[in-house]
Structure 1
Amino acid sequence: RPVAAVRLIAAQADADRLVADRYLATLHDITADEAAAEPLHRLFHDRLIDHGAPERPGGRMARFYESRVFHLGGRAEVPDLTLSWHQLKDLRWTVGGITYDRGLGALFDEARARLLPARFAGAGVVAHGDAHNANVWFETGADGMADRLVFFDPAFAGAHVPALLAEVKATFHNIFAHPFWLYDAAVAEGLYTVRARLDADGRGITIDHDHDPGPLRRAFLAAKGDLLWRPLLQALAARGQLDADWRRVVKLALFCCPTLVMNLRAGPDGGHHGPAASALGLAIAVAMGAEPAGGAADPLSTMLDAVTP
């Protein structure tokens, strides 16, 4: 039965504290070989390449997006835009009034280079690695016990999980994602108004939408930042193991979550997304991976600014 939001927020905060404690208790040095052997990379880098050819696009990225046609915004019968990958990949994105500093093509290229598994030598933790809410039970407290979240399906768990990747899936899927545009995308076509247009200079795309993550997810973001990311980053900095480009690593991995878990493309041979859900999903993905330009801020950049050691 439905559970009050305040109980969900409290249980999530308790889980964030517990997971952060486990990360700090198990934080240890890992070699490049140990880092590369972790199954968690199957959620990120392995979906960007074909094995044997890591220097070029492959895997889900190539199957979903490269050389494909995209229908963006509006409705399936009359999408606002129809663009090829060649036309789309280098466009500047403006989402909800915020312009971002990188486009889709640059983000995929950067992720393929920076998320290479062997580049994660340094700090590792014991982690579940894939604790999105489809892998989490909410257990109602009884006999004076508090409500709690219980993780299951540890398919990508490991003893040497790169510390910066350990909480990425939970951060994206439990906060920035919503099933109505990611998994049950047909709902988005009638629920949200999403419009796409090319900018006057022809070099950018603007996405306007009325999707709002809501107060529950905003509370989850505040807790995740304060209770998990802040102590983890502080511990890495204290050990001298916080990479100079840690923010890029986290944002690139967040970008991979929606783009590689589902085919977000609407169009010939696309996934189950229509033009509204496709434009919304790709816009949110860009906001995960790119930085707001011109001194602007969005919820993710604000959180990362706040937890930077």
Structure 2
Amino acid sequence: MTGLPKLLEEIDSLAAIQRLQFSEKEKAERLLRRWFARHMQLYPESVTLTPKAVSLNSFNGFYRLNGEEYFFKTHVEEQGILAEYYHADLLHQAGYNIVKPLKALHEGGRQMVIYPVVRWPVIFDLVHAIEAGSAEDDGFETVIAAEKRECARLLSIYDQTMMRSPAEEHARAPIHQLFWHRLAGERFKSFYQGKVVTLPGQGTSGYVQGIPFEELLQYRWTVYNMYGTVVTGEWKRPTLGGLIERARIVLDPAREMATVIGHGDAHFGNVFLEDRKDFLYFDPAFAGRHSPLLDIVKPFFHNVFATWMYFPEKVAQDLQISVDIRGSDIYVEHNYELTMIRKAIFEAKLHDLYAPLKEMLGTKNDLSADWSEVVWLAMMCCPLLTMNLLDVKRLPPALCWLGLAQAIEMGNRSLNEG
């Protein structure tokens, strides 16, 4: 009987439902109907999960109740230490175009948010359609124009809501769950501590070569792209361990900062495109008052660099990557390249948000000496800690090494920019 409480906990776990949505969807939907009844006193006639590539740490879908359809979403993080606060009203008052939730539950580590059904397309899907060649003829221009328009709106909101926050207040911001708490807490340990990183290009039988993760932290990296150009390591050759230790200092939430009202996790999976021109946000799980340097990170990285996370099988088919270890040095060469739409999003983010934000902070005398480290070491956390790079059920070794190379590339930018 000792296993019964654990079994009951498992079938009542939102994390279990998140995992099952991809492999046993009907079972996951049955468990979710039971969960709705037990925890929210909702008795829907039907529950439909919509597993998506973007749902790395979440799930969403629709339920029908009394003939009406509703949309639900939850964010799942088993090692999370902060409660998730859904500050839709705060964002709305600050000037964000946001879908307001109809109902929310936050208790005992459980969180679920119910929304009205929105029929506008999610920008994540629009960008993927552009990459697949199935979008409307003006899809590319429509997305980039909307991106630039939203960058201008964000700068206006940042300007209007910016103020200094003391260390104690800033430390309470939910956004730190995405970066420092993952890095300094149980998530990093559970993903990598005591684990072995398998070298790419090996079969499933016989002796498999690998490097203990703790040893990997000490190597100095040089990364080349498909054209033989040095992406990382031409000027400074960081170790992953050194970057992580620096990030634990720089990203520590308990520091006085210039802060703004921000969504915190505004990647394209959390944004609709309304009327083909305006961003419409939802799922403000990490919204609140926090540094604008952190606010721009998740949409910057995930909308530009993270295609391999969402479509690992497709990327792995075309990926060529080699890892050469010489003494205490690692040399990585790969052919992963951004698509045209991702490059255009990068340019828009860089010129229409990142550079003007730096100038705004400088004008207000709020540009800290380590501002670049804050941005790019938080960026490093995205490939390293959004998902477990060593989880072979989700990622082959080649993509693990691509993720590690991107983490090094992001972290290295913090050393070369100031």
The TM-score with structure 2 as length reference comes to: 0.62
Deviations 1:144-179 (A, max 9, x none): xxx222211001000x2112211111111111211x
TM-aligned CA distance change 1:291 to 1:11, over 3 Å: closer
> Which of 265, 276, 284 is equivalent to 1:154?
284
- 1:287 paired with 2:409, answer yes
Deviations 1:224-258 (A, max 9, x none): 11111122111111121111111111111000112
Q: Which residue of 1 aligns with 2:345?
A: 220
Deviations 1:42-94 (A, max 9, x none): 111111223xxxxxxxx211111122100132255389951111321111111
Q: Which amino acid aligns with 1:171?
A: F
Number of corresponding residues? 274
Q: Which residue of 2 aligns with 1:90?
A: 218
Higher relative contact order, structure no. (Cα contacts within 8 Å, ≥ 6 residues apart): 1
- 1:104 paired with 2:237, answer no
Mapped contact 1:197–1:205 kept (Cα < 8 A): yes
- 1:248 paired with 2:383, answer no
Q: Which residue of 2 aligns with 1:56?
A: none
**Secondary structure of 1:149 counterpart:** strand
User: How much has 1:7 moved relative to structure 2?
Assistant: 1.4
> Which of 31, 38, 41 is equivalent to 2:176?
41
- Percent of residue pairs bearing the same amino acid type: 36
User: How much has 1:207 moved relative to structure 2?
Assistant: 1.4
Q: Which residue of 1 aligns with 2:299?
A: 170
Q: Which amino acid aligns with 1:188?
A: V
The alignment's C-alpha RMSD in Å is 2.1
User: How much has 1:2 moved relative to structure 2?
Assistant: 2.0
**Secondary structure of 2:369 counterpart:** coil
TM-aligned CA distance change 1:285 to 1:248, over 3 Å: same
Mapped contact 1:194–1:208 kept (Cα < 8 A): yes
> How do residues 1-309 of structure 1 correspond to structure 2 at under 5 angstroms?
2-3=135-136, 4-50=139-185, 59-75=186-202, 77=204, 82-96=210-224, 97-100=230-233, 101-119=237-255, 121-141=256-276, 147-158=277-288, 160-178=289-307, 181-199=308-326, 202-265=327-390, 272-291=394-413
Q: Whole-Å Cα distance in 2 between the matches of residues 77 and 186 of structure 1?
A: 17
Q: Whole-Å Cα distance in 2 between the matches of residues 289 and 275 of structure 1?
A: 21
Deviations 1:251-295 (A, max 9, x none): 1100011211100125xxx562111111111101110011499xx
Q: Over alpha carbons, which structure has the higher Rg?
A: 2
Mapped contact 1:76–1:274 kept (Cα < 8 A): no
Q: Which amino acid aligns with 1:116?
A: D
User: How much has 1:17 moved relative to structure 2?
Assistant: 1.3
**Secondary structure of 2:200 counterpart:** strand
Q: Whole-Å Cα distance in 2 between the matches of residues 75 and 210 of structure 1?
A: 18
The answer for unaligned runs of 5 or more in structure 1 is 51-58, 142-146, 294-300
TM-aligned CA distance change 1:30 to 1:292, over 3 Å: closer
Q: Which amino acid aligns with 1:288?
A: M
Q: Whole-Å Cα distance in 1 between the matches of residues 151 and 414 of structure 2?
A: 27
Mapped contact 1:75–1:189 kept (Cα < 8 A): no
Mapped contact 2:358–2:367 kept (Cα < 8 A): yes
